[in-house]
Amino acid sequence: MNAALHLYEDPHLEERYEAIDALPVHPALVMLSDDAKASVGEAFREVAFTLCCDPSELTRGAHGEMLWHPAEDCLSLRLSVPELEAEMYVEIPSGHWSFRTGSHAEH
């Protein structure tokens, strides 16, 4: 999964995150695979290491939004921690997430 999960260093991810075809999704409507959860946790640890802070500081102060890209069937997650001046983009590819039954859409 790690190779499929892209962090902020991808220069095109922010552009894709803000693409016109992207639809906002409430995180409670989405289920992530175990691999996706582990990779997002690893991304938090990497960013925390870079910022010389504890990962719990990131999770405690994180505010995020999630977008669904129907054409690519992937999710983009943007997390920001204003107190630490940190921002992270994560892309979760198809096959590593699904909509909860009866939610926004099912695929």
Does pLDDT of 64 surpass 70? yes
Residue 56 inside a domain? The answer is yes
Residue 28 inside a domain? The answer is yes
Residue 104 inside a domain? The answer is no
What is the number of structural domains in the chain? Answer: 1
Residue 86 inside a domain? The answer is yes
- For 1-56, the pLDDT digits (tens) are 333 344 444 556 566 656 668 899 998 999 999 999 988 888 888 888 888 888 88
Residue 90 inside a domain? The answer is yes
Query: Which residues span the domain enclosing 26?
Result: 2-99
Spell out the SS3 assignment of the chain. CHHHCECCCCCCHHHHHCCCCCEEECHHHEEECHHHHHHHHHHHHHHHHHHCCCHHHHHHHCEEEEEEECCCCEEEEEEEEHHHCEEEEEEECCCCEEECCCCCCCC
Residue 107 inside a domain? The answer is no
